[in-house]
Amino acid sequence: MNEKVIKIREYSIGIDVGGTNIKAGLLDEDGKIQLAKSIKTQKEQGYISIIKKIIGLINSYQDNEELKIKGVGLALPGAVNDEKGLCLYCPNLKWDNINISSEIENSVGLKVKLINDANAACLGDYFYGVGKNSNNIIYLTLGTGLGSAVIIDNKLLQGKDKAAVEAGHMIIEPFGYPCSCGSRGCFETLVSATAIERRYSEKQDINRSFNKGNLTSKMIFEAYRNNDILAIKTIDETKEYLAIGISNLINIFNGEKVILAGGVMHSKEIILEGLENRVKECTYPSMRNFTITVSKLGDNAGVMGAASLFFKTLKVI
């Protein structure tokens, strides 16, 4: 008698905690994302509120008893130690040395794996997106803050404390704007959405164009398209800082592909115009054989990368 073997499809949950939104989704074994969700982080409400939201998202998937869920990949905006289940330092959330994995595991009954949010997005594109078939990648996420990751010879660079490549805190302007990390003039303070909004506000007259309290980088990019002089100056400055930062990273890591992601890249046609040529002008001559591209996974890159921890393996260095 021949019995048909039915393989039960397995899923993992990916959750990407950002400064503005918490994004979630189910990833299947074929790399397809399903049931994507997004809720406001509201980080001003504090750690307990955010943990409750994360647990609530996980529970919403667990409510479907037909789903076989392997575990939860949790991407956080800062340094993490997955082996110990610790969030070491997330400056934008003001989290410091928190044992987050066990708290969530005890509540939902699933294994939780931690990963830095930029590393997660990088893995999402490396396994499922524009990074496929690339061996050496420099990855930047431009959102509320700036995340970064590097893959060298198909290995994710993590360093001694699994906290390497915090390029957002590479100092570009030594006497520049104060950063949440305690330094001044960090890359993040010059090219993130928050930085764009701040610099435009500083250039604005009080009664000009936008209410400062409601100003968003999206509005500034729209003003750029409408030839607003202050918006053009702000975005041009941002692109110059971005070119300098990218060239620094290429000079150090010798990447073949630079992938840009995050909310700022919703205006990719503005950011990309002339950017690659400017980066090459700033880069050491023997390292100019690279391309700059934009993630096509959108808001799902970090979710997919976090969830991939239960399906894929990548060596780390």
* Backbone angle region of 314, left / alpha / beta, with phi > 0 → left and psi within -120 to 50 → alpha: beta
Query: What whole-number distance in Å separates Cα of residue 201 and Cα of residue 205?
Result: 8
pLDDT at residue 105 in the model = 97
Q: How confident is the model at residue 6 (pLDDT cuts 50, 70, 90)?
A: very low
Flag whether pLDDT at 5 surpasses 50.
no
Of residues 204 and 179, more confidently modeled: 179
Name the helix (H) or strand (E) containing 250.
helix 229-253
Which tokens belong to 175? 């006497």
Sorted by sequence, the CB contacts under 8 Å of residue 223 that are 6+ apart come out as 209, 210, 230, 231
Orientation angle between helical segments 193-203 and 229-253, nearest 10 degrees: 140
pTM metric for this prediction: 0.87
* Mean pLDDT along residues 30-47: 92
pLDDT > 80? residue 34: yes
Can you name the CATH fold of 131-295?
Nucleotidyltransferase; domain 5 (3.30.420)
Q: Over the stretch 76-86, which tens digit does the pLDDT of each residue have?
A: 988 888 888 98
pLDDT computed for residue 82 by the predictor: 86
- More confidently predicted of 162 and 83: 83
| Mean local confidence (pLDDT), 242-266 | 96
Q: Where in the chain is the domain with CATH 3.30.420.40?
A: 10-122+301-316, 131-295
Q: Would you say residue 263 has pLDDT above 70?
A: yes
Q: Please tell me the CATH superfamily of domain 10-122+301-316, with its number.
A: ATPase, nucleotide binding domain (3.30.420.40)
| 162 has a pLDDT exceeding 80 | no
pLDDT of residue 227: 96
- Side chain identity, residue 187: F
Of the two residues 75 and 159, the one the predictor is more confident about is 75
Please name the amino acid found at residue 156.
Answer: L
Q: Which of 2-16, 37-51, 106-120, 189-203 has the lowest mean pLDDT?
A: 2-16
